[in-house]
Amino acid sequence: MQNEITKRQKLLDENGNLANPGWCRRNLYDYNIEKKSVSTMRLKEWDFYQVSNGRYMVQINIFNISLATCATFGFVDLLTGMKFDTMAMELITPNKNRLNKNGDVPNSFAFGKGKNRAEFVTTDDCHHIKFSGVCRGKKIDAEFFCNRLPNHESITIAIPFKEQGHFFYTNKINCLNTYGTVVYGGEKFEFSRENSFTVLDWGRGIWPYSNMWYWANGSAFVDGKIFGFELTWGFGNDDNASETALFYDGKCHKIGRVHLEFDPELGKRWMEDWHFISEDGRLDMTMTPFYDNCTEMMPLNLVGMNTHQVHGLWNGTVTLDDGTKLEIKDMYAFCEKVYNKW
């Protein structure tokens, strides 16, 4: 049974467990982590922005996983595979650099070390994100304006794990129509509002040491209005709140859990068609991949992350709350499968 949260309430109870697992169209939870008996060495907080126009993709992230606080920047040319990345890091920060309590309201945060620095400023109608730094001896300057629609809805979920005191609390805000630039070593890469969108993955939580998830997300113009989807599964207990939704013209349309026809990891079938269907039949889409942004960083299989973020063109149909069916044709979006140990 999906539990929609419609009134503001505390995230955690007095024992540090989720008080009321559920989902909401705006972030209505009060992130009351500081008063609870939880291990700050297990706490993870992140603000992750991914910007793309279907040709170029940029990821700018600030995260604090207690062992370290980092600001990261990554750029990928999805056509040629050319990429560059850099980061700033401060080690052992369990009680420092705590991120904001709600990514859905005006706020600001910045972090940097040495020559690398990320800065995020959120207002009622825009997420302004910047990164400046150096990679391979070349200067990076990136700046994006990610615009919200009036009364822009998103999806927030708060779900538990089987372990006591463990939870996943996230707000995904996509359909952010974006413009901006990346300048790297004097070369400029332009992002225009005609075809550029951003998703914010705002997350907080205490997780088990070893975990896995699937995450699919995309935004585009469909019939003259902004359409998007958010699909995440495999992570935590989603009996009360699956992270599966459609967005159209600023409104959230909640759908059921999503099933992937096959596991692309089996047989290394990353570049074959991926078929997605929701349990309520309101989403039926196929992704035809054209690029696998693969990252494998897990020394000795002890700590790190293995990621296949597969980008492709999506085709199929989705059904909104009022029964309106949208036909999706060659929409650029992605789906990733991630393993974590940290």
Closest CA to 47 of 71, 16, 27: 71
What average pLDDT does the segment 150-161 reach?
Answer: 97
pTM for the whole structure: 0.97
Average pLDDT, the chain: 95
Can you tell me the distance from the alpha carbon of 303 to that of 292, in angstroms, rounded to the nearest whole number? 22
Lowest mean pLDDT among 6-20, 22-36, 128-142: 22-36
Residue 93 tokens, joined: 């920060």
The yes-or-no verdict on residue 301 having pLDDT over 80 is no
Split at pLDDT 50, 70, 90, the class of 35 is: low
pLDDT at 302: 74
pLDDT at 137: 97
Q: 3-state class of 335 per DSSP?
A: strand
What average pLDDT does the segment 304-320 reach?
Answer: 96
pLDDT at 54: 97
Task: Count the residues in the chain.
Answer: 342
Can you tell me the distance from the alpha carbon of 245 to that of 271, in angstroms, rounded to the nearest whole number? 25
Can you tell me the distance from the alpha carbon of 65 to that of 23, in angstroms, rounded to the nearest whole number? 24
The yes-or-no verdict on residue 341 having pLDDT over 90 is no
pLDDT at 59: 98
pLDDT at 297: 81
The yes-or-no verdict on residue 36 having pLDDT over 60 is no
Q: How far apart are the first and last CA of the chain?
A: 31
What average pLDDT does the segment 133-156 reach?
Answer: 97
pLDDT at 95: 77
Task: Give the model confidence (pLDDT) of 42-56 as tens digits.
Answer: 899 999 999 999 999
The yes-or-no verdict on residue 259 having pLDDT over 90 is yes
Residue 154 tokens, joined: 């998103």
DSSP 282: S
What average pLDDT does the segment 101-128 reach?
Answer: 97
